[in-house]
């Protein structure tokens, strides 16, 4: 039987069209992980096709859109990672060689560098000597051409320079040219070293200035002429700030700084890092903006402990000065009877308007204190204080802080407010102050909005009275809002500041009185 010969159809060989790539399918051992990607079709993906053609780096007449066929491929080696196109890198990497000329340049061997003479070793002593000569020459030489400037010195100077540079084994008269060459190199080295030192000094000074600016990005000097920034950071304008410094007097120069259980006396002049004005500025900035001690330490370039010491010391100083005027802060009604604002004209014998306000405080660990500080009205742990405001908007009374669970009536009884009340005084308050009997015992009058009770509406007289009281009482709320603009009080008062919380509220109230009048 005749054998039947079967012809197998041979598979076509795939070629890579990228640049000068000679990758062929199944023809090399290193093609194990390499695969071929069909070229984008011009009809359906023309823009992508043009990008791939450009990346191939071949001549336009040899490889263009018209040359793309169904059997045009590119191997995976020419993509980022060698794994073909991805979502991040859908196109091949651009070819480095675009034509034969560049290919020839790429294959051209690099010429060997020209041989150089062995550099002459120059010691630091030679450089130093040349530098001294340079300084002497700069004072005596007349500017000449560059080629002549090195040798245009007097005979004595030339001999002196040559003696400093020459070695012990070479005589000046026999090796003049060699010494001159060494001198020229030393001259240039010294000049370069001199320039480097000058640049280093300039950079050092610049760094010092930058460090100084970074350490104190906020200072009284930088914002004292800007009323908006002064008001923002301290709550006072600069003239009000100066009035406060003048009010404190000479005590600002002789402070005993608080330091926990210990104290540090500062009686010697010049031991402070900041002036009294800057320390007061630091205190007011933290008080007004509520910054942490770490933030303040960064702003002023000092340690966090120093910020705490300065803040606590100045808060105590302000409290002591303001507290010495507490007895005269609450003027009697005849002092402002003739200058009552229009909204208070209908209230004869008005003495003040009162209201209670609460300040959030960090929750303590003691369970009993947690219950006492919890305010059911605020649903938070709070301190509570009674504030009295005169008809002109000035704060005339500030009680100590009480625990948030206390009632308004209990604060009136325990704060000592009744000790300031005179017979015939009229006190404006909210409905929550059920203290009419307490004031009657002092022969004073309480004026509060009428209660609706079981009725559906007020009478016309009661409605008019309610409106008048509301218009007058709005000013005490505005004053309390000013107090709480000191953000160290408007946020959660930390437990670390609880020992001086009374002082902070009283100082904030007095600082409000340094501001422009609220009612005119």
According to DSSP, residue 24 is labeled B
pLDDT band for 141, please (50, 70, 90 cuts).
very low
Phi-psi region of 82 (alpha: psi -120 to 50; beta: other; left: phi over 0): left
Average pLDDT, the chain: 79
Predicted confidence (pLDDT) per residue in 440-496, tens digit? 999 999 998 888 877 888 888 888 888 888 888 888 999 999 999 999 999 899 988
Report the alpha-carbon distance of residue 68 to residue 39 in Å, rounded: 7
Report the alpha-carbon distance of residue 477 to residue 481 in Å, rounded: 6
SS (H, E, C) 167-192: CCCCCCCCCHHHHHHHHHHHHHHHHH
According to DSSP, residue 368 is labeled H
Cα torsion 283, 288, 292, 297 to 10°: value is -40
Domains of the chain in sequence order: 29-107 (no CATH), 124-213 (no CATH), 220-323 (no CATH), 332-513 (3.30.420.10)
Report the alpha-carbon distance of residue 90 to residue 55 in Å, rounded: 12
Any idea which of 40-44, 122-126, 447-451 has the lowest mean pLDDT? 122-126
SS (H, E, C) 299-365: HHCCCHHHHHHHHHHHHHHHHHHHHCCHHHHCCCHHHCHHHCCHHHCCCCCEEEEEEEEEEEECCCC
Decide: 392 and 343 in contact? Cβ < 8 Å.
no
Decide: 153 and 141 in contact? Cβ < 8 Å.
yes
Higher-pLDDT residue of 505, 108: 505
| Coil vs helix vs strand at 387 | strand
Decide: 502 and 371 in contact? Cβ < 8 Å.
no
| Coil vs helix vs strand at 491 | coil
Give the residue from 519, 510, 520 showing the smallest Cα distance to 240: 510
Give the residue from 382, 378, 376 showing the smallest Cα distance to 492: 382
Name the phi and psi angles at 176, rounded to 5. -65, -45
Confidence at residue 411, expressed as pLDDT on a 0 to 100 scale: 96
């Amino acid at each position: 039987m005749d054998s039947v010969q079967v012809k197998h159809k041979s598979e076509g060989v795939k070629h890579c069209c990228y640049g000068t790539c000679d990758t062929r399918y199944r023809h090399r051992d290193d093609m194990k992980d390499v695969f071929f990607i069909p070229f984008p079709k011009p009809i359906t993906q023309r823009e992508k096709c043009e990008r791939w053609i450009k990346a191939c780096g071949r001549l336009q007449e040899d490889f263009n859109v018209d040359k793309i066929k169904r059997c045009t491929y590119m191997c995976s080696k020419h993509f980022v990672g060698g794994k073909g196109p991805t979502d991040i890198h859908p196109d091949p990497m651009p070819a480095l060689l675009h034509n034969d000329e560049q290919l020839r340049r790429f294959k051209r061997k690099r010429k060997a560098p020209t041989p150089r003479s062995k550099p002459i070793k120059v010691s630091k002593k030679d450089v130093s000597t040349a530098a001294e000569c340079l300084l002497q020459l700069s004072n005596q030489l007349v500017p000449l051409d560059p080629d002549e400037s090195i040798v245009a010195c007097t005979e004595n100077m030339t001999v002196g320079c040559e003696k400093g540079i020459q070695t012990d084994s070479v005589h000046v008269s026999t090796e003049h040219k060699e010494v001159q060459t060494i001198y020229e190199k030393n001259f240039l080295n010294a000049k370069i070293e001199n320039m480097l030192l000058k640049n280093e000094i300039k950079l050092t000074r610049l760094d010092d200035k930058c460090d100084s600016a970074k350490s104190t990005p906020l200072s009284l000097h930088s914002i004292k002429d800007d009323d908006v920034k002064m008001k923002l950071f301290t709550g006072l304008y600069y003239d009000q700030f100066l009035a406060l410094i003048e009010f404190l007097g000479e005590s600002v120069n002789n402070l005993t700084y608080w330091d926990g259980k210990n104290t540090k006396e500062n009686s010697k002049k010049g031991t402070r890092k900041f002036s009294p004005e800057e320390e007061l500025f630091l205190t007011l900035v933290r008080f007004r903006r509520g910054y942490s001690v770490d933030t303040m330490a960064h702003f002023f370039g000092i340690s966090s402990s120093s910020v705490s010491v300065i803040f606590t010391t100045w808060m105590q100083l302000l409290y002591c000065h303001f507290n010495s005027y507490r007895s005269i802060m609450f003027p009697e009604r005849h002092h402002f009877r003739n200058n009552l604002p229009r909204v208070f004209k209908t209230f004869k014998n008005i003495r003040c308007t009162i209201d209670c306000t609460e300040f959030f405080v960090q929750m303590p660990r003691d369970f009993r204190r947690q219950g006492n500080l919890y305010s059911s009205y605020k649903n938070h742990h709070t301190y509570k204080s009674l504030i009295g405001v005169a008809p002109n908007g000035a704060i005339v009374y500030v009680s100590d802080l009480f625990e948030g669970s206390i009632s308004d009536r209990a604060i009136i009884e325990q704060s000592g407010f009744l000790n300031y009340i005179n017979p015939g005084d009229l006190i404006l308050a909210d409905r929550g102050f059920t203290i009419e009997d307490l004031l009657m015992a002092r022969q004073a009058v309480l004026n509060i909005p009428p209660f609706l009770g079981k009725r559906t509406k007020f009478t016309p007289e009661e409605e008019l009275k309610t409106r008048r009281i509301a218009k007058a009482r709005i000013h005490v709320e505005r004053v309390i809002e000013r107090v709480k603009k000191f953000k160290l009080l408007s946020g959660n008062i930390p437990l670390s500041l609880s020992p001086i919380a009374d002082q902070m509220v009283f100082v904030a109230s007095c600082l409000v009185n340094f501001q422009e009048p609220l009612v005119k």
